[in-house]
Amino acid sequence: METIQTQSRYIEWLSPEEMHKASKEWLSELKFIRDEHLFFEDLVTTFTSQLIASRKFQDNKEIIDAINKSQKRNNVLIESIKVHENDLEVMLDGIDQIEEERAYVKEHSGLIKVISDYLKNYKSLKTQLFNIIKNIKKEDKQRYLMDRK
């Protein structure tokens, strides 16, 4: 007798209230990230000359491009979550629409993964940008101390 390996997939059942709460939290976090992107733009503008003069110009440019893409992705995600929030009505209208409700839950599950991946990548980009700025500040401080001597 041959055994067949199957993969079980357990999906946590989320109530409409839990999905609404999760969507609100995502929107809040993404809106905060949108504000952080404005800060990053200002930071990059402030350190433009050092970023260009750096020996790691190409790496710096790639990080800055990735942050710009992240900003665009953030705006798309905000709009997607707003639409998703508006579609929550299908879960609350009291009418049994099994297919629509399943589609909504499936969309929510997909958003969980997408948002999680986005946040992980965003935090990595943020860390890389801060490391670049930290190194620029260290070099500036070293130059200043050398010039004082």
For residue 56, the model assigns a pLDDT of 76
C-alpha distances in angstroms, 113 versus 49, 87, 120, 130, 143? Answer: 38, 19, 11, 26, 45
The model's pLDDT over 32-81, given as tens digits with 9 standing for 90+, comes to 999 999 999 999 889 888 888 767 788 888 888 999 999 999 999 999 99
Looking at the chain, the number of H-run helices and the number of E-run strands are: 5, 0
**Residue pair 24/82 in contact by the 8 Å Cβ criterion:** no
Nearest residue to 129 via CA among 72, 53, 45: 45
Confidence (pTM): 0.80
